[in-house]
């Protein structure tokens, strides 16, 4: 999906990359110390805090004298809650999509290295001096894995809303290359959910989750997992949490390692080196597999087939 988004604006990205590659990053000397870094959190959501902690440790390890401030963008700024002391960062580390958008608004010209961002809006990553690591849903790897587990799958179903039309466009190109047909059903209102879920399960051999906040949230996702077991059809989840809750498998970015990847990128930038690409995808991933769900939906897996999969129990 991100790739599709990039394809649409390949030219823009190329220009952006070229500009960055050939422009010396004047804000930094060759020593990363004595910089002022601002870690901007989207919220105090646990994984964001974990990411901030890893980022702080990595930065301190390589740049011992770096001055680091941390701010949650949802911190109140009303009459009684004055903003923190004036801190002028030389580099900003947005964590999460909301923080990235906020950083682009507040510090349009400062270097920014983002992490913990999934499917960001294009305007958020195309700004100048914007670098970072994007969490990726590995659709190709998911489809490859699905084909390996159940070669007779002909149709793969996906429920989506208007927020995720772009992803569906991308999937329509990818899915046929694996010898399958995509059946995408659009949900226009929540009242249709039950009927459309039934339709989806009836016509599809497997179901694929996409990062659609309207549909694959903590309320509806368990329902889809339940139905996938009821209809004995594989459901490919978004993350390990989905798999432990009963999805057949998921291909997960190691998000904490992706934060370290972003930290390395930042250290290179602070030492005056330009990264090869302004935006990278997280490099390390794990395939989580729920063996119990496999048994429930009638899949028999040999130990050879389970090689390379990380087994989780529900």
Partner 1 sequence: MRTLLFFTTIFLLCISSAAFSYIKGKEALLFQDMPTVVTASRQSLSVIESPATATIISREDIEHMTFNSVSELLRYVAGIEFFKSTGASFNIGMRGVNGLQANNVLILVDGRPIFSPTRNTNQCALIPEVQDDIERIEIIKGPGSVLYGSNAFSGVINIITRNPESLSGTHLTSSVGTFSNALYSITSGNRFGKWSYKFLAAWTQKSNIEDHNNQIKGLMKISGEAGYEIRPGEKATLSFGFSKGRLAVRPTASISSFDQDGFDGFLRGIYHRDDLKMDIWWRHFEASGDFKRTGHIRWRYDNLNFLFQNTFRTTNHTVVYGFETRFANLGATSYDSWHNQFLGSIFSEDRWRISTNWNLFAGLRVDYHSEAKFAVSPRLSLVRFLGSNKSLRFSVASAFKYPSYLQNYILMGTPFFSHKGNRDLEPENLTSIELAYQLWNPIGFSCTIATFYNNYSNMIDYDFSYKDNKFHLTYDNLYSMHQYGVELDGQYRFSKNFLVKANYSYVWKQKRDGVTFGPVPTNQINGEIRYNFDFGLWFDLRIHWQDTSECTLGLSPTNFSTISLRGLTPQEIERAVRNVKYFSSWHDVDGYWLGDLSMGYSPPGKWWKIALGVHNIFHERFKETSYSERADTTFTARFTMIF
63 or 118: whose CB is closer to partner 1? Answer: 118
Locate the DSSP E strands across 11-139.
Answer: 36-41, 67-72, 91-95, 112-118, 130-135
The token pair that represents 44 in the structure block: 């105090």
**Per-residue burial over 125-161, b = 16 or more CB atoms within 10 Å of its CB, e = otherwise:** bbbebbbbbbbbbbbeebbebbeebbeebeebbbbbb
Min CB(171)–partner 1 separation in Å: 16
Counting contacts by CB under 8 A, is residue 307 touching partner 1?
no
Min CB(22)–partner 1 separation in Å: 32
Considering only residues 93-132, where is the footprint of partner 1 by CB under 8 A?
A: 96-98, 116-119
Considering only residues 12-51, where is the footprint of partner 1 by CB under 8 A?
A: 41-47, 49
83 or 302: whose CB is closer to partner 1? Answer: 83
Counting contacts by CB under 8 A, is residue 6 touching partner 1?
no
Q: Coil, strand, or helix at residue 56?
A: helix
Counting contacts by CB under 8 A, is residue 279 touching partner 1?
no
70 or 274: whose CB is closer to partner 1? Answer: 70
183 or 193: whose CB is closer to partner 1? Answer: 193
Q: Coil, strand, or helix at residue 41?
A: strand
Alpha helix (H) residue ranges in the chain? 2-8, 10-22, 46-62, 97-106, 122-125, 139-149, 165-174, 193-203, 220-230, 240-244, 255-270, 291-296
20 or 251: whose CB is closer to partner 1? Answer: 251
Counting contacts by CB under 8 A, is residue 2 touching partner 1?
no
Q: Coil, strand, or helix at residue 39?
A: strand
Q: Does residue 299 contact residue 234 with C-beta atoms inside 8 Å?
A: yes
Q: Report CA torsion sign: 43, 49, 51, 57.
A: positive
Min CB(34)–partner 1 separation in Å: 23
Considering only residues 140-179, where is the footprint of partner 1 by CB under 8 A?
A: none
Binding site for partner 1 (CB under 8 A): 41-47, 49, 52-53, 70, 72, 74-81, 96-98, 116-119, 135, 193-194, 197-198, 211-213, 216-223, 225-227, 230-232, 238-239, 241, 245, 252, 255, 291-292, 295-296, 298, 310-314
């Amino acid at each position: 999906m991100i790739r599709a988004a990039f394809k649409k604006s390949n030219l823009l990205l190329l220009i952006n990359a070229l500009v960055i590659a050939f422009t010396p990053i004047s804000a930094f000397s060759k020593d990363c110390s004595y910089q002022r870094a601002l870690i901007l959190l989207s919220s105090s959501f646990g994984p964001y805090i974990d990411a901030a902690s890893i980022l702080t440790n990595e930065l301190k390890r390589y740049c011992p004298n770096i001055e680091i401030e941390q701010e949650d963008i949802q911190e109140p700024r009303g009459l009684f809650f004055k903003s923190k002391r004036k801190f002028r960062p030389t580099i900003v580390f947005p964590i999460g999509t909301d923080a990235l958008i906020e950083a682009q608004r507040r510090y349009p010209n400062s270097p920014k290295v983002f992490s913990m961002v999934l499917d960001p809006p294009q305007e958020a990553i195309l700004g100048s001096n914007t670098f970072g690591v994007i969490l990726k849903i590995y659709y190709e790897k998911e489809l490859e894995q699905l084909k390996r587990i159940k070669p007779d799958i002909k149709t793969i179903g996906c429920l989506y809303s208007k927020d995720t039309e772009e992803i569906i466009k991308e999937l329509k190109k990818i899915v046929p290359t694996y010898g399958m047909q995509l059946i995408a059903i659009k949900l226009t209102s929540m009242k249709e959910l039950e009927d459309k879920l039934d339709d989806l399960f009836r016509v599809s051999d497997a179901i694929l989750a996409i990062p659609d906040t309207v549909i694959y949230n903590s309320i509806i996702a368990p329902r889809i997992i339940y139905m996938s077991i009821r209809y004995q059809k594989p459901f490919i989840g978004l993350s390990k949490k989905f798999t432990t809750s009963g999805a057949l498998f998921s291909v997960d970015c190691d998000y904490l390692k992706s934060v370290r990847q972003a930290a390395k990128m930042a250290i290179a930038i602070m030492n005056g080196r330009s990264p090869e690409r302004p935006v990278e995808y997280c490099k390390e991933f794990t395939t989580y597999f729920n063996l119990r769900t496999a048994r429930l939906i009638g899949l028999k897996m040999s130990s050879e087939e389970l090689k390379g999969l990380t087994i989780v129990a529900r």
